Structure 1
Amino acid sequence: MNGWPEHALAAASHPDPYPYYRALAEDGWRRDAKLGLWLAASRRAVGAVLGSPVCRVRPAREPVPAGIAGSPLGEVFGRWLRMSEGDAHARLRTAVGEGLAALPCNEAEQTARRLAWAFLTAGAVDGRRLDSLVDFLPVATLASLLGWQEAALAEAAAGIARVCRALAADADAVARERGAEACGTLLADLAALPAEGGLRRWRAEFAGLDAAVLCANLLGILFQSRDAGAGLLSAGIAWRCLGEWNHADPGEWRARLRQDPVLHHTRRFVEADATLAGQTLRAGDQVLVLLAAAAHDPAAPGEAMDFGRGRHACPGEAQALAIARGALDALEESRPDWRALGGGIVFQGPPNVRMRRFGAGERA
């Protein structure tokens, strides 16, 4: 394993983690004693975990991380679709799915293209500007569609970044406090948005649910778009730096994401003893579900797994791809030096996201 990632949590930032993932996929399951985790890597193992009712997104004894429990951020976290189970999850999934389905992809694409063009023409298109665009655009596009004024989009994106930092595994007390403050500001902004704007369709889908649940899940959608959307957009830009490709074709995106995934893993907590895909798991076990390894499983049909599978699959795939398409259209119009932009790419981001950074050399 010389030259391979140190462990599965370090793989997304490795220059070439895919031989490592293929070896894990051939094993199917592996216990990493150092990390204290089971690794589910084959397509069969990943599918079994994602489809099992005993594998939860949060441990039953700690539905909200201890570091934010009792704070406004903790209250919001506990209301998110992606952190709920059972009947509550089913109701929220229906509401969020219908709300996203009512969001026209062409509107998301055109909004992203307009915002990206304005962002890119404000200065030289270098690596640092690309990094800033990647961090800004996915959140800003969705916030714009919800009714945020354009002058407030940068602060909304910055607020979501602070929330993301507060929820990172290594967040300290200062980061959590800043994230809680940003959460309160964003909730106030959501409550103040005009009812006749983009919120109207969401209020219709959430009819009968508490208004706090609606605002929490809208904030959750912005949160989820931040790192995953940035990773997706940075991948599309990096592929363009290597040569022209048809970014208008969703099928081309899926083919490329199968070979070079953006979301590399997710985590599940085992609630009760179970045997899944031949492996016995005990209550209290943690499983790192290696989506990137499953996509490279030589024994399974190639399939991109970036948007997950099963009851917790991301419902925003179409909108995420539309935002990335709009951004790439704007970049093509700006006619940058693609070769130069791709000359110093490094991988720096959350452990589960393969995030490209283009301006690391410019900051050195």
Structure 2
Amino acid sequence: MSAWPEHALAAAGHPDPYPYYRTLAEDGWRRDEQLGLWLAASRRAVDAVLGSPVCRVRPVREPVPAGIAGSPLGEAFGRWLRMSEGDAHARLRTAVGEGLAALPCDEAELTARRLARAFLMTGAVDGRRLDALVDFLPVATLASLLGWPEAALAEAAEAIARVCRALAADADAAARERGAEACRTLLADLAVLSTDGWLRRWREAFSEWDGASLNANLLGILFQSRDAGAGLLSAGIAWCCQGEWDHADPAEWRARLRQDPVLHHTRRFVAANATLAGQTLRAGDQVLVLLAAAARDPAGPAETMDFGRGRHACPGEALALATARGALHALEQNRPDWRALGGGIRFSGPPNVRMRRFGAGERA
């Protein structure tokens, strides 16, 4: 592989993209004509984009991706707060953040630990098993907390994976249809879950929502937990393969995520002409916001950017870290051969996530 990523969308899967990011951060802004978008890489440029009301999470003329418009998945996507703008949605986003912050993360960590322990008992702890755990656990933990029956957690995790594949930029018609069917199944399951526990608290907190909007947004939270949670857990496992570290300490996670981020970029669409951090942007421009470059920018405040900033920042940081901590605790109890598990790590996942894969050599 080249010593330099082919372009910014390929950087998360590169063995060492950080010299490339450092160069981009020094520039602050760069136009990539091949990709047809602007790259915001310095912390100043990234903060300006994430804080600007003219930089939207969706194009003004395409609030729902054309490939899923009119399908059950498109209808759910159109209700997701993380894909919406406006004062009403801002108030509800704040409520979502407060709702997640109020949830007991000790319960999430114990649930993740229990599920991981049961999962690992069903096979040898090799690279393929780790990959399967990474794909399963983030969604399964949240689904279990919402009240999904234990026997149905694997199906729920696979259904969310189909939704993720349907929303990928390169999804074909077959993947979108499978995602739409998975969406129908998940929404039906959410509608009949017991109202005890976490789900009852969600319904009480968002009583102003109709049931369809609440269930669509719970589906959206499960969707968010999948790739980002898998990337976070795979990073934690990879760091264990390198040596002991204090994964019980959230500050240690943040320090490591600043140096080796999991979420590398997000995208924004410019709704009106603007000048941000010295760069003139035009309505209709796209900006690739390089969170990984901004996190390591020497001119920045030395903070992780994995959970974003501004009005669309992810409110699930504590929950994601609790899930990863629980999994790593369960793994340590199995006393795996960390060195062997770390010997064949590859990077393979969505373009914006630095996803470790441990079983590539075992599949050869």
Deviation of 1:262 (Å): 0.1
Deviation of 1:78 (Å): 0.6
Residues 160 and 226, structure 1, Cα contact 8 Å, conserved in 2 = yes
Residues 26 and 298, structure 1, Cα contact 8 Å, conserved in 2 = no
Distance 1:233 1:40 in 2: 27
Mapping of 1:1-364 within 5 angstroms? Answer: 3-364=3-364
Amino acid of the residue matched to residue 291 of structure 1?
L
After superposition, give the CA deviation of every residue in 1:203-253 in whole Å (9 maximum; x if it has no partner): 011111111110011000000000000000000000000000000000000
Q: Which moved more, 1:192-201 or 1:165-174?
A: 192-201
Size of the aligned set, in residue pairs, is 363
Deviation of 1:97 (Å): 1.6
Distance 2:129 2:84 in 1: 37
Deviation of 1:278 (Å): 0.2
* TM-score where L is the length of structure 1: 0.99
User: Can you give the 5+ residue segments of structure 2 that lack an aligned partner in the other structure?
Assistant: none
Q: Secondary structure at the match of 2:288?
A: strand
Q: Secondary structure at the match of 2:65?
A: coil
Residues 138 and 226, structure 1, Cα contact 8 Å, conserved in 2 = yes
* TM-score where L is the length of structure 2: 0.99
Residues 160 and 182, structure 1, Cα contact 8 Å, conserved in 2 = yes
Distance 2:329 2:81 in 1: 32
After superposition, give the CA deviation of every residue in 1:175-227 in whole Å (9 maximum; x if it has no partner): 00000000000000000101124310000111111111100110000000000
After superposition, give the CA deviation of every residue in 1:317-340 in whole Å (9 maximum; x if it has no partner): 000000000000000001000000
Deviation of 1:87 (Å): 1.7
Distance 1:262 1:208 in 2: 35
Residues 261 and 292, structure 1, Cα contact 8 Å, conserved in 2 = yes
Amino acid of the residue matched to residue 8 of structure 1?
A
Q: Which moved more, 1:288-297 or 1:85-94?
A: 85-94
Q: Secondary structure at the match of 1:280?
A: strand
Distance 1:164 1:102 in 2: 27
Residues 142 and 222, structure 1, Cα contact 8 Å, conserved in 2 = yes
Amino acid of the residue matched to residue 207 of structure 1?
S
Residues 270 and 281, structure 1, Cα contact 8 Å, conserved in 2 = yes
Q: Secondary structure at the match of 2:344?
A: coil
Deviation of 1:135 (Å): 0.3
Q: Which moved more, 1:125-134 or 1:92-101?
A: 92-101
Distance 2:227 2:302 in 1: 24
Distance 1:196 1:53 in 2: 38
Distance 1:167 1:12 in 2: 19
After superposition, give the CA deviation of every residue in 1:48-96 in whole Å (9 maximum; x if it has no partner): 0000000000000000000000000000001111101012321321332
Residues 102 and 201, structure 1, Cα contact 8 Å, conserved in 2 = no
Structure 1 runs (4+) greater than 2 angstroms displaced: none
After superposition, give the CA deviation of every residue in 1:106-141 in whole Å (9 maximum; x if it has no partner): 000000000000001111000000000000000000
Q: Secondary structure at the match of 2:187?
A: helix
Distance 2:88 2:40 in 1: 27
After superposition, give the CA deviation of every residue in 1:4-63 in whole Å (9 maximum; x if it has no partner): 100000000000000000000000000000000100000000000000000000000000
Deviation of 1:98 (Å): 2.6
Amino acid of the residue matched to residue 324 of structure 1?
A
After superposition, give the CA deviation of every residue in 1:150-186 in whole Å (9 maximum; x if it has no partner): 0000000000000000000000000000000000000
Distance 2:275 2:283 in 1: 11
Distance 1:108 1:265 in 2: 27
Amino acid of the residue matched to residue 172 of structure 2?
D
After superposition, give the CA deviation of every residue in 1:255-275 in whole Å (9 maximum; x if it has no partner): 000000000000000000000
Amino acid of the residue matched to residue 68 of structure 1?
I
Q: Secondary structure at the match of 2:39?
A: strand
Distance 1:197 1:275 in 2: 47
Residues 146 and 198, structure 1, Cα contact 8 Å, conserved in 2 = yes
Distance 1:28 1:206 in 2: 40
Identity %: 86
